[in-house]
Chain A
Amino acid sequence: MKNPTSPNSLSRRDLLKRGSAIALGATVGSQAITGFPTIWAQNIKNVTLRQFGTGVSNINEIAMKVKEDLGITLEMTALDTNSTAQRVATQPKSFDIADIEYFTLKNVWPSGNLQPMDISKLKYFDKIAGTFKDGKLTPTSKIAQGTAPHTVSFTDSPNSKSFSKSMTNWYTLVPTIYNADTLGIRPDLIGRPINSWTELLNPEFKGKASILNIASIGIMDAAMVCEAMGEVQYGDKGNMTKEEIDKTMAIFTEAKKAGQFRAFWETFDQSVNLMAAGEVVIQSMWSPAITAVRSKGIPCIYQPLKEGYRSWGGGLGLARNLSGLELDAAYEYINWYLSGWVGGLLMRQGYYSAAPETSKLHMSEDEWGFWYEGKAAVNDIIDPFGNKMEPAGAVRDGGSFLNRMGRVECWNSVMEENRYMVRKWNEFIAA
């Protein structure tokens, strides 16, 4: 029925989805509701909510569990990042809950197709990480560049089409999933410590480097490199001027012509294969891809770098047309989402949950220690789908949650000069 993901749309979320496209009426004959005392419990049983979003967090297991716990039927559709944004902007009646990325909010919120959430109805709001409130994970964290989630998280009134600079009672998205991205390396083929983004263009790795060919993310990785080299100073890497774009692309075009890059990758599996086959020893990469390389018995490290991480995050938004019982059910669903079970599911795959503490109850002490606290694993680390991710004794690259998310330098974003940037990126590819 409704899985309009085209075979050509190869975004990260798309490829990360684990056979998860649609979850339709997952468990029929739901059991009695336990542990969730709520006045709507009886009524919302029959409610169906249509959610779409990126593949990473639109997993069958969530629909099955919500049916079991709340009785709500969740119809899920997995799309790629670009399509999710387009859907919010152009087909407001086709969904109840949108699972979209923060940086797309800048473009879709003004459409008025989403309604903000009343924070007083969010039971676990105080558990949500500071990154999604005032932008500070800890009181001393500095605020990262790009579309930092807190800059688009609040709005002044239920009908406002703009964002509020400070915290209000109206929340645009409830964060679901986020992570910090960096470069992946093959330590066995490099044989020395790597600690800076500049290494991507180091001639030592000529013909053995790669960057991802998704303009909006690739440009950010490129900017991290140029800034680390001291070649370009950016006002805001998430919102570059034409001149900054030109300078960045000039440096990368020169490197490309000199044969620095073995290939550019576009899909999750391409990045895994390049690394596993030894075609590439250093490249931009996503966390689960590192795991995939390691699971083949090949050493691969998600290398923390001194300049910090490039980060991304997504969240749930409510459709404007939701009201009455459906709206109540949606709040109930979001409270359930933050209550910990989903967080545990996501955290055990290497992502972070919006309210990390609530997830703790749904993870073993060892899992919590490994994924969140950066401690050495006592036993083998198994993902929620039963695959072994790390052997006993392993430590997460980059360490604890605070160490990783506390060192975000830049968030994925949409630039004002987006159209120009895409043209320049195309020129870079064609150069």
Chain B
Amino acid sequence: MNRKSPLSTLLQISPISLILGFFLALPIGTILIVSFWDYNAFSFFPDFVWTNYSDALGSNVTYSTYFNTLRYAGLTWLCTFLIGFTVAYFLAFHIHTTRWQIVLFLICTIPFWTSNIIRMISWIPFLGRNGVFNTILQSMGLIDKPLEFLLFSDFSIVLAFVHLYALFMVVPIFNSMMRIDRSLIEAAIDGGANGWQMLINIVIPLCKPGIAIGSIFVVTLVMGDYITVRLMGGGLRASVGVMMWNEISLLQYPAAAAHAVVLLAVVMIMVSLMMRIVDLKREL
């Protein structure tokens, strides 16, 4: 192998370093610095105080909010995983022509051609007290009184999350499944394995990287979300993102920055745990 000159190495790494530096390291560094600043009602100013962290970590609300957010993340993960895995499995193993696989896969992406917000808001008239769903159930005589838990509840929040993020699970799992060597499956069937054994012993283990990537997408998106929780929870439910948004809207940027740093740490721990379960570098 030829030894490259230091200059060309430098040139080669500079684009990615610049991009990551400006758009990742610099903003995060700024947030970290601001999280130690102090603030009053209308401005924030350089200082070095721990009050933002002590306010954040000293309050029960923070813990219950994190617990709530983790619960949303857990429920959403479970639903998107079940749906994502099933859809991907169907596409990969039950559709035999590439053309139909592509067609059906594109159909899955159609909802993503519209904006997040639109997809979310359209649930509101559907699930409302006098909404489409309740009206149908009532006219069929299945219920006497409208079901109130459908909207502005944990149910509607998780429903919207699953709707928004299921595709993030489908794509990587489908990708992993397509890489599975079909002869492995034939060999298993020849060896007398039933469908369940094949699923547990071959498909799932070989899909682990896809599942891990999908899980990272879904969990990080849910952990950082604020708009879904606000809109679908009717403002009655809190998530970490909502808490930060409340602070930002009152110009308490340092407090929001402290929350952002804490959230970043929590999410990084979660991702690194997932990476421990699946060694992505080795698997890819």
Say whether B238 contacts A423, CB under 8 Å: no
Query: How near does chain B come to A120, taking the closest CB pair, in angstroms?
Result: 31
Main secondary structure of the interface of B (DSSP, over half): loop
Residue A28 CB within 8 A of the other chain: no
Q: Give chain B residues whose Cβ lies under 8 Å from the Cβ of A89.
A: 42-43
Residues of A within 8 A of B (CB): 8-11, 82, 85-86, 89-90, 104, 107-108, 207, 213-216, 256, 261-266, 273, 277-279, 414, 418-419, 422-423, 425-427, 429-431
Cα A426 to Cα B239 in complex, Å, equals 11
User: A-facing mask of B247-263, CB < 8 A → 1, else 0?
Assistant: 11111100000000000
Say whether B236 contacts A86, CB under 8 Å: no
Some 25 contacts from A to B, beta carbons below 8 A apart, are: A8-B248, A8-B249, A9-B249, A10-B249, A82-B251, A85-B41, A107-B40, A107-B42, A213-B235, A214-B249, A263-B235, A265-B235, A273-B124, A277-B128, A277-B131, A279-B128, A279-B130, A419-B252, A422-B252, A423-B59, A426-B61, A426-B246, A426-B247, A429-B246, A430-B68
Given contacts A82-B251, A427-B61, A430-B68, contact A8 B235 (CB under 8 A): no
Interface-centre pick from B125, B234, B251 (highest chain A CB count, 10 A) = B234
Residue B65 CB within 8 A of the other chain: yes
Given contacts A89-B43, A263-B152, A277-B125, contact A427 B250 (CB under 8 A): no
Say whether B245 contacts A261, CB under 8 Å: no
Say whether A215 contacts B246, CB under 8 Å: yes
Q: Give chain B residues whose Cβ lies under 8 Å from the Cβ of A9.
A: 249
A208 closest partner in B (C-beta):
B129
Say whether B246 contacts A264, CB under 8 Å: no
Residue B186 CB within 8 A of the other chain: no
Say whether B251 contacts A262, CB under 8 Å: no
Residue B160 CB within 8 A of the other chain: no
Top 5 closest pairs, chain A to chain B, by CB: A263-B234, A264-B235, A430-B238, A427-B61, A213-B235
Chain B residues touching A, range: 35 or more
Say whether A279 contacts B151, CB under 8 Å: yes
Cα A425 to Cα B236 in complex, Å, equals 12
Question: Contacts A82-B249, A86-B251, A265-B235 given; 4 further ones with Cβ under 8 A?
Answer: A86-B42, A89-B42, A261-B236, A427-B61
Say whether B61 contacts A262, CB under 8 Å: no
Residue B230 CB within 8 A of the other chain: yes
Cα A38 to Cα B128 in complex, Å, equals 59
* Residue from B41, B55, B251 in contact with A423 in the complex, judged by beta carbons closer than 8 Å: B55
**In chain B, residues 108-149, which have Cβ atoms closer than 8 Å to a Cβ of chain A?**
124-125, 128-131, 148
Given contacts A82-B251, A86-B251, A430-B61, contact A264 B125 (CB under 8 A): no
